[in-house]
Structure 1
């Protein structure tokens, strides 16, 4: 049995609803979430110098005699793995597969997949939104893993037409992280490892309850600025916020487009986003003029939107921001 809580006590259970058809707003939000996972300076591994071996063989000018930085070697695949060649089209799925220990059975990734470091040695199939079908097929995958928000992409049906198994993971709520890890563990015969990962995540999120503020902090979670998009209720980021001790000022569900007037009208006590905090102060100067007490806090880009094994780190980052703006609840 998994150590509770798998879902934080204050997180509303999410009834399963049919996934809506792709809309321009939904596709934009998928792009924003993937963009939050892009490698430093937006460069793919290939753009930053090719394979790990090539990087190691040609040291930068002026560094002769200095040991080059090497990408860690790809771990060996476990014996008896029922799938020999896997390609991941989602950074969170890549992290799940790595945590499960598939190692060299993972043969391809997207340009946004950069954790753990050894995956940078794998060939990229381009963007998770528009992966290169020919490059995908050249990797001869037995299994391609994608997210539910990518389910309508024509490339997935093309892969099925070529006889490639496509596994679509749920990716809408915090609980879906556990469901995705469990599903991969079952498909790959790694159920015990999946249970261990889930127990660790659940325990870490559970510990956050000991440091929640006396009153939930009214928070706006921004996922895009041009135009402004925020995470509404019944989303993965809303679940993280509740686990951390915040309450979402956006009462609508899903991903919500806002203008400046609407942002001011929400009167958040805290705004969470990514990027340098000095830049946040510039971007949100209009809000600070209208709501001088509002706090601005940045969360790390590489964990802010990934529904993978590091979600407890993301929730902890949210809580660090929240605790800057509210006292800790006294122990019972």
Structure 2
């Protein structure tokens, strides 16, 4: 058993086990993704199929060559697990983390890791053809798996487009091209419906709380920032930068700045049982914020908290949840 290294991503969400984190900084979106292989068209039904072998290199330098469709897959992140199930690959999944809880069938799979550790011995025993990790994964763990002859690919999308590209990549490497393209098309259609609904609406100042003590926000570079922007919001934390002038995806945010920027909508996820709308409203100094005065605090709970924490196939549902919170009058 080896320890995962923490990263700044989703601190509050990690505590309630919505996301398994990686340990290496992310490269931009899916920039530099390399996919080599031969695709053919079934002219009778117009289905696009993937011929093997296929070589794929992820954004973190993990290059794999799949000689044939992987029939045994391990997922070490909930969002990757959801992608696999959405592509109809549930029967090929042989291992997941204890936090892979959607869909319901995911809970029946062999547990090979949790937030603090991953059971490499168990994974090797399962002898999977492919392991999907979050981000770059753990360098030492990856080496152990690769030395055992197991292919490793990492995904850490931070935009809707990147999520869709990752879905198509997983479709290619698993022989599910057609299913991936259909899923992406459905996601795009729903996204466009939501955007059309909020088109032309006045922008609203929004703050999304990642953690409360110390206060931490979703800044530019986080996928929540994109959801806020697409939903007709102005993310007040989007301009946060470090001492080198680099934008911070998950900056700490002091109360004085929060009051100064004065969000009209305050969003958070219930990472602890006692985090509620009321508990946020009574925090010292928060009474000066417009979102508090106008009763526009929204705490995503239960399944909603799950949805907005995972950059996977339900990210369009997350977009709709955020849009509803910002422009509730449009979704009655």
The two structures have a TM-score, normalised by structure 2, of 0.72
CA RMSD of aligned residues (A): 2.5
Q: For the Cα contact (< 8 Å) 1:205–1:243, is it kept in 2?
A: no
1:125 is paired with a residue whose SS is strand
Go from structure 1 to structure 2 and tell me whether the alpha carbon gap of 1:311 and 1:118 turns closer, same or farther (over 3 Å shift). same
- Superposed CA deviations along residues 285-312 of structure 1, whole A, max 9, x for unmatched, are 2353112236211222110111111111
Structure-2 separation of matches of 1:30 and 1:161: 31
Instruction: Judge which range, 175-184 or 254-263, deviates more.
Output: 254-263
Equivalent residue number for residue 61 of structure 2: none
Go from structure 1 to structure 2 and tell me whether the alpha carbon gap of 1:89 and 1:204 turns closer, same or farther (over 3 Å shift). same
- Superposed CA deviations along residues 231-267 of structure 1, whole A, max 9, x for unmatched, are 1113211111122221101122311112222322321
Quote the offset at 1:36 in angstroms.
Answer: 4.7
- Does residue 190 (structure 1) correspond to residue 188 (structure 2)? The answer is no
- Superposed CA deviations along residues 177-197 of structure 1, whole A, max 9, x for unmatched, are 111101100001111100000
Equivalent residue number for residue 5 of structure 1: none
- Does residue 271 (structure 1) correspond to residue 272 (structure 2)? The answer is no
**Pairing 1:34-183 to 2, within 5 Å after superposition:** 34-38=14-18, 82-128=69-115, 130-148=117-135, 150-183=136-169
Q: 2:312 aligns with which of 290, 308, 311?
A: 308
Q: For the Cα contact (< 8 Å) 1:36–1:301, is it kept in 2?
A: no
Structure-1 separation of matches of 2:148 and 2:172: 24
2:216 is paired with a residue whose SS is strand
Structure-1 separation of matches of 2:305 and 2:12: 11
Quote the offset at 1:211 in angstroms.
Answer: 2.5
Equivalent residue number for residue 237 of structure 1: 224
Instruction: Judge which range, 139-148 or 208-217, deviates more.
Output: 208-217
- Does residue 27 (structure 1) correspond to residue 7 (structure 2)? The answer is yes
Q: For the Cα contact (< 8 Å) 2:11–2:210, is it kept in 1?
A: no
Q: For the Cα contact (< 8 Å) 1:303–1:313, is it kept in 2?
A: yes
Structure-2 separation of matches of 1:199 and 1:287: 45
Quote the offset at 1:110 in angstroms.
Answer: 0.6
Q: For the Cα contact (< 8 Å) 1:89–1:128, is it kept in 2?
A: no
Quote the offset at 1:224 in angstroms.
Answer: 1.4
Q: Unaligned 5+ residue runs, structure 2?
A: 20-51, 53-67, 241-246
Quote the offset at 1:318 in angstroms.
Answer: 0.6
Equivalent residue number for residue 218 of structure 1: 205
- Superposed CA deviations along residues 54-99 of structure 1, whole A, max 9, x for unmatched, are xxxxxxxxxxxxxxxxxxxxxxxxxx97112100011010000001
Go from structure 1 to structure 2 and tell me whether the alpha carbon gap of 1:238 and 1:262 turns closer, same or farther (over 3 Å shift). same
- Superposed CA deviations along residues 20-49 of structure 1, whole A, max 9, x for unmatched, are xxxx8x71425544445449xxxxxxxxxx
Quote the offset at 1:204 in angstroms.
Answer: 0.7
- Does residue 323 (structure 1) correspond to residue 323 (structure 2)? The answer is no
Q: Unaligned 5+ residue runs, structure 1?
A: 1-23, 40-79
Structure-2 separation of matches of 1:105 and 1:166: 16
Quote the offset at 1:328 in angstroms.
Answer: 5.2
Q: How many residues are treated as equivalent by the alignment? A: 262
More strand by share: 2
Structure-2 separation of matches of 1:129 and 1:181: 26
Go from structure 1 to structure 2 and tell me whether the alpha carbon gap of 1:294 and 1:259 turns closer, same or farther (over 3 Å shift). farther
Go from structure 1 to structure 2 and tell me whether the alpha carbon gap of 1:190 and 1:208 turns closer, same or farther (over 3 Å shift). same
Equivalent residue number for residue 205 of structure 1: 191
Q: For the Cα contact (< 8 Å) 1:274–1:301, is it kept in 2?
A: yes
